Structure 1
Amino acid sequence: MMKLTECQCAKVSYLEDDELIKDTALRIKKKHPQITESDVTYLPRLKAAFEYANTIPLKEENTRRNFLLLETFYPDFYQNPEVDKWLRTPNGYSADQRLEDYKHVMINRERRRL
């Protein structure tokens, strides 16, 4: 069995995260062709959001992708103090569930044009 050093493990994790961000960006742009933001600004914005998501921490890959989807349509949404508090405050639900709840609130607000 091959053993990796801590530095090597960190590099593998970084590469996996980077691939997840790029793949998610590609999927979002394919599904929503109205997104025309250049990758020069779009990918670093998603990277910053992903780094924040890791501090919550979000565990499920699908939830991390949803976080990036929210960032796409609501830039810097997580920097709002109320959103940050909601995502970080343990209330009996996981951070993944709190994000899913927030996503549904935002979807419903869009549908009602609030």
Structure 2
Amino acid sequence: MLEFSEQQAAALAQIDARGYVEQIRQDLVQENPAFADDGTLSVRLWHAYEAAREMGISTDENMAAFLRLEAFSPGFYEKPATRNWLTRPGRPADARFHDYLRVIRWHIEHPDWKGGLEHGGTGSAGGRGSGNGAWAALGASWSRLVGRDGGGGNG
């Protein structure tokens, strides 16, 4: 059996994480070709991955949703209200992020409702591979909600 030092194990984990983020990026480009023109997407997704880990997001489902949300709404997690909600003590970040997604999905499905939150997101995520058709519909709804024309980048 191979034995790795702590540094070697960390390096392998880093390689795995980068591969995971790249797979999400490829899935996003396949589902929405406009993302292929977004030269910042890879870097943004990696920073979002690191931020999600730092906040305590750990499940594959939530991580995939977090990265997909970053693609459609760059820097969403940096907004003070969002960051405060996700890092608030009392419940795990995964549970809070799941609640955040449910509220945002409700707002997308009820666009005429005029109260509540001012920050956005999307619905539930697929598995680690993230090739989930529901994301295409939610991405389109999210794009309409935030006024994004599908051209990549901030918009």
Runs (4+) off by over 4 Å: none
Quote the residue 2:33 is aligned against.
33
Equivalent of 2:103 in 102, 105, 109: 105
Per-residue displacement from partner, 1:26-72 (whole Å, max 9, x unpaired)?
1122223343443x311001001111011011111121111001101
Name whichever of 3-12 and 102-111 sits farther off. Answer: 102-111
d(CA) in 2 for partners of 1:100, 1:25: 21
Quote the residue 1:2 is aligned against.
2
Question: What is the SS of the residue equivalent to 1:9?
Answer: helix
Where structure 1 has 5 or more consecutive residues not aligned to the other structure, the ranges are none
1:109 deviates by 2.5
Where structure 2 has 5 or more consecutive residues not aligned to the other structure, the ranges are 112-144, 147-155
Question: What amino acid maps onto 1:52 in structure 2?
Answer: A
Give the fraction of aligned pairs with identical amino acids, expressed as a percent.
Answer: 26
Q: CA RMSD in A?
A: 1.8
Q: TM-score, normalised by structure 2?
A: 0.65
Q: Which has the higher contact order (CA 8 A, sep 6+)?
A: 2
Equivalent of 2:93 in 95, 99, 112: 95
Q: TM-score, normalised by structure 1?
A: 0.86
